[in-house]
């Protein structure tokens, strides 16, 4: 028993698979623990989008604890007051760190309804009015003027290209006549891979692209709009893949 901590430490240091499972377990336990601690506070405040600030504050330290450096480019694009829809590529559960890094005030993510049944985590998502939908491809118009954050691929994808986008977020933007902001998170390949059981320290770059207007568009324009945004994001993702940590030519980082 005395040697077990030493063995665990050696395995963590020299065995990549053991290291991967330890960090993934810590990542998930942190989220569950924070959700548990914040639920009483959120309950006292009522079901409000303002509770999203609590979740953001609880998740933001994870990048430091996991050894992930996050750089954000183009943050000035989100400095507008009106509602909008954010669409982002979806690679892994680590995306939650990137999401809270760029998510503005008054913004909530859209998630699958099944998340509601994940115990304390589902309840913690319900308190800040996370929009839970049953069919990801069909989202009804939002009843309040919120900013929403959507992963239009609908599932995690660690391939070198993006999956086809679900159209729900684009229908929502067109119905509300609000702009769309594409956001691209650089590949995690250098430091994270669930397939190869790798989870080390590394740098992640997030690029916020200029807004895409939807004023004057109708539902019949949604398919073309969806593909146009997807292609623009795929091009940036490919560029970031080639450059390692992303393109740094045009903008100043929010978090150097």
Rg of the chain, C-alpha, whole Å: 19
Say if 121 falls within a structural domain: yes
Say if 255 falls within a structural domain: no
Task: Give 111's pLDDT tier (boundaries 50, 70, 90).
Answer: low
Say if 248 falls within a structural domain: no
Say if 116 falls within a structural domain: yes
Our count of domains for the chain comes to: 1
Reply yes or no on whether the pLDDT at 240 is more than 50.
Answer: yes
Are 86 and 104 in contact by the 8 Å Cβ rule? The answer is no
Q: What local confidence, expressed as pLDDT, does residue 46 receive?
A: 61
Out of 3-7, 80-84, 245-249, which region has the weakest mean confidence (pLDDT)? 245-249
Give CA–CA dist 112/110, Å, rounded: 7
Q: Domain range holding 27?
A: 2-243
Q: How far is CA 15 from CA 9, 10, 12, 55, 86, in A?
A: 10, 8, 6, 33, 38
Greater confidence (71 vs 119) lies with 71
Are 99 and 192 in contact by the 8 Å Cβ rule? The answer is no
Average pLDDT over every residue of 232-250: 76
In three-state secondary structure terms, 15 is coil
Half-sphere exposure (Cβ direction) of 122: Cα atoms closer than 13 Å: 10
- H-only helix segments in the chain: 4-14, 16-45, 52-59, 62-65, 95-102, 119-126, 168-176, 222-243
134-162: b (≥16 Cβ within 10 Å) or e: eebeebeebeeebbbbbbbbbeeeeeeeb
pLDDT digits (tens, 9 = 90+) for 196-235: 999 999 999 999 999 999 999 999 999 999 999 999 999 9
CATH code, 171? 3.40.1130
- Order of all β-strands in the sheet with 107-112: 68-73, 202-208, 180-185, 85-88, 147-150, 107-112, 131-133
Task: Give 151's pLDDT tier (boundaries 50, 70, 90).
Answer: very high
pLDDT digits (tens, 9 = 90+) for 164-198: 999 989 999 999 999 999 999 999 999 999 999 99
Say if 147 falls within a structural domain: yes
Phi, psi (degrees; rounded to nearest 5) at 95: -60, -25
Per-range mean pLDDT, top range of 51-55, 112-116, 133-137: 51-55
Greater confidence (206 vs 41) lies with 206
pLDDT digits (tens, 9 = 90+) for 55-99: 888 899 999 999 999 999 999 999 998 999 999 999 999 999 999
Task: Give 159's pLDDT tier (boundaries 50, 70, 90).
Answer: confident
Closest Cα partner for 23 from 66, 64, 63, 69? 66
Say if 211 falls within a structural domain: yes
Q: What local confidence, expressed as pLDDT, does residue 42 receive?
A: 65
Say if 249 falls within a structural domain: no
Q: What local confidence, expressed as pLDDT, does residue 35 receive?
A: 78
pLDDT digits (tens, 9 = 90+) for 8-30: 888 888 999 999 999 999 999 99
3-state helix, strand, coil in the chain (%, to 5): 45, 15, 40
Say if 187 falls within a structural domain: yes
Greater confidence (53 vs 74) lies with 74
């Amino acid at each position: 028993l005395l040697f077990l901590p030493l063995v665990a430490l050696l395995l963590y240091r020299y065995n990549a698979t053991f290291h991967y499972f330890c960090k993934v377990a810590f990542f998930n336990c942190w989220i569950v623990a924070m959700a548990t601690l914040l639920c009483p506070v959120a309950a006292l405040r009522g079901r409000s989008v303002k509770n999203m600030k609590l979740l953001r504050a609880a998740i933001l330290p994870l990048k430091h604890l996991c050894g992930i450096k996050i750089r954000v480019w183009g943050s000035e694009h989100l400095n507008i007051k009106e509602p909008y829809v954010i669409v982002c590529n979806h690679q892994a559960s680590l995306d939650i760190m990137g999401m809270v890094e760029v998510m503005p005030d008054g913004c909530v993510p859209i998630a699958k309804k099944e998340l509601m049944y994940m115990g304390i985590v589902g309840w913690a998502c319900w308190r800040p009015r996370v929009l839970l939908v049953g069919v990801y491809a069909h989202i009804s118009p939002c009843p309040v003027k919120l900013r929403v954050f959507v992963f239009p691929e609908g599932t995690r994808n660690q391939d070198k290209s993006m999956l086809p986008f679900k159209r729900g977020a684009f229908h929502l933007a067109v119905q509300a006549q609000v702009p769309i902001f594409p956001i691209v998170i650089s590949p995690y390949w250098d430091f994270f891979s669930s397939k190869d059981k790798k989870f080390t320290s590394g740098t992640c770059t997030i690029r916020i692209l200029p807004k895409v207007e939807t004023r004057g568009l109708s539902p019949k324009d949604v398919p073309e709009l969806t593909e146009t945004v997807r292609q623009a994001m795929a091009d940036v993702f490919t560029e970031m893949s080639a450059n390692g940590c992303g393109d740094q030519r045009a903008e100043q980082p929010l978090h150097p």
